[in-house]
């Protein structure tokens, strides 16, 4: 059975490969401030970042700040974000979230996990996206790509995103949490796809449990 030290060494080698493959990685949601990232990340639930960016291009022109969102008509906001799916819940959460930001945080997005988790519609994934990309505070983001790759590579045996996050926190150096999360997304889109992973051309195959079992 692989020890914690051995797993950390394997991750170190994977990160070296990723740094060569994906040296410049960033959040694929478009934003210019923490509030916009908060809104965009909420909209990204069960929706592609590409579609969210199409919606927010107009949304952030119409709703310029936290007060615009807090005072928005529920029905009107629903129509504005309809294309992202689950628009009723998302609109309700966005309005409630922005009202709480005004009432409790002077209209500013807080910078701690515990405070972010108090906001309507914000779970650990959203909070880690905000911490890592808006504030430069390392966070492990477990999205569908991170979940799939972490299990395939053999970094976790869990399906629960929070348990996966804590497993990755144990083996990935903290300063690299945000970057590694992005690299998993990039690799998941380019190589380790859900239905047909390209194991034959995968540069981290020798460090991947799934890849080692696959035939060319």
CATH number for the domain including 14?
1.10.1670.10
Whether 112 has a pLDDT exceeding 70, the answer reads yes
Q: How confident is the model at residue 178 (pLDDT cuts 50, 70, 90)?
A: very high
| Pair 44, 116 in one domain | yes
Tokens of 185: 């997304």
Burial level of 90, CB count in 10 A (0-12/13-18/19+)? buried
Q: What integer pLDDT is reported at residue 213 of this predicted model?
A: 87
Closest CA to 65 of 25, 92, 38, 29: 38
The stretch 117-129 carries a mean pLDDT of 96
Give the whole-angstrom CA distance, residue 13 versus residue 15: 5
Burial of 32 (0-12, 13-18, 19+ CB in 10 A): exposed
Question: CATH no. for residue 82?
Answer: 1.10.340.30
For residues 61 and 8, membership in a common domain is answered with no
- Report how far apart the first and last C-alpha atoms of the chain are (Å, whole number): 26
Q: Please compute the mean of the pLDDT values over residues 135-154 and round it to a whole number.
A: 96
58, 126: one domain: yes
**If you average pLDDT over residues 126-143, what whole number do you get?**
97
Q: Are 42 and 106 in a shared domain?
A: yes
Question: Are 11 and 51 in the same domain?
Answer: no
Distance CA 91, CA 96 (A): 9
Do both 80 and 94 map to the same domain?
yes
pLDDT band, very low/low/confident/very high, at 216 (cuts 50, 70, 90): low
User: Residue 175: which domain range?
Assistant: 4-26+140-213
pTM above 0.85, yes or no: yes
Number of separate domains in the chain? 2
> Residue 127 contacts by C-beta under 8 Å, 6 or more apart in sequence?
113, 116, 117, 139
Residues near 186 by Cβ (< 8 Å), separated by ≥ 6? 21, 22, 25
Say if residue 71 is in the same domain as residue 152: no
Phi then psi for 85, rounded to 5 degrees? Answer: 80, 160
The pLDDT of residue 83 is 98
Q: Do 112 and 188 belong together in one domain? A: no
pLDDT surpassing 90 at residue 215: no
Shared domain for 10 and 51, answered yes or no, is no
Same domain, yes or no, for 157 and 202?
yes
Final residue in a domain of this structure, among 108, 134, 160 = 134
pLDDT tens sequence across 24-33: 999 999 999 9
Using the 3D structure, point to which of 105, 134, 163 is the last residue of a domain.
134
pLDDT digits (tens, 9 = 90+) for 162-175: 999 999 999 999 99
The answer on 107 and 48 residing in a single domain is yes
Question: Is pLDDT of 68 > 70?
Answer: yes
| pLDDT above 90 coverage of the chain, percent | 96
> What mean pLDDT do residues 71-82 have?
98
Q: Is 118 strand, coil or helix? A: coil
Q: What is the mean pLDDT of the chain?
A: 96
Question: Pick from 101, 134, 167: which residue ends a domain?
Answer: 134
**Residues 118, 170 share a domain:** no
Percentage of the chain exceeding pLDDT 70: 99
Q: Got the DSSP string for 2-42?
A: --HHHHHHHHHHHHHHHHHH-SS---SS--SSHHHHHHHHH
Active site residues: 125, 143
């Amino acid at each position: 059975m692989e020890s914690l030290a051995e797993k950390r060494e394997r991750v170190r080698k994977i990160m070296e490969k990723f740094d060569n493959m994906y040296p410049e990685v960033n959040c694929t949601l478009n934003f210019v401030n923490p509030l916009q990232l908060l809104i965009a990340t909420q909209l990204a639930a069960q929706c592609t970042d590409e579609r969210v960016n199409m919606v927010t291009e107009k949304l952030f022109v119409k709703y310029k700040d936290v007060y615009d969102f807090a005072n928005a008509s529920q029905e009107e906001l629903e129509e504005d974000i309809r294309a992202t799916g689950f628009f009723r819940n998302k609109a309700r959460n966005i309005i409630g979230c922005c009202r709480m930001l005004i009432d409790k945080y002077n209209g500013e997005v807080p910078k701690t996990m515990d405070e972010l988790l108090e906001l309507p519609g914000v779970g650990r994934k959203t909070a880690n996206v905000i911490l890592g990309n808006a504030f430069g505070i390392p966070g492990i983001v477990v999205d569908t790509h991170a979940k799939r790759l972490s299990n395939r590579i053999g970094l976790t045996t869990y399906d629960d995103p929070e348990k996966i996050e804590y497993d990755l926190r144990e083996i990935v150096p903290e300063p690299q949490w945000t970057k590694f999360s992005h690299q998993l997304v990039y690799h998941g889109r380019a190589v380790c796809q859900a239905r047909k992973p390209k194991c034959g051309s995968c540069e981290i195959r020798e460090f991947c449990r799934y890849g080692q079992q696959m035939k060319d």
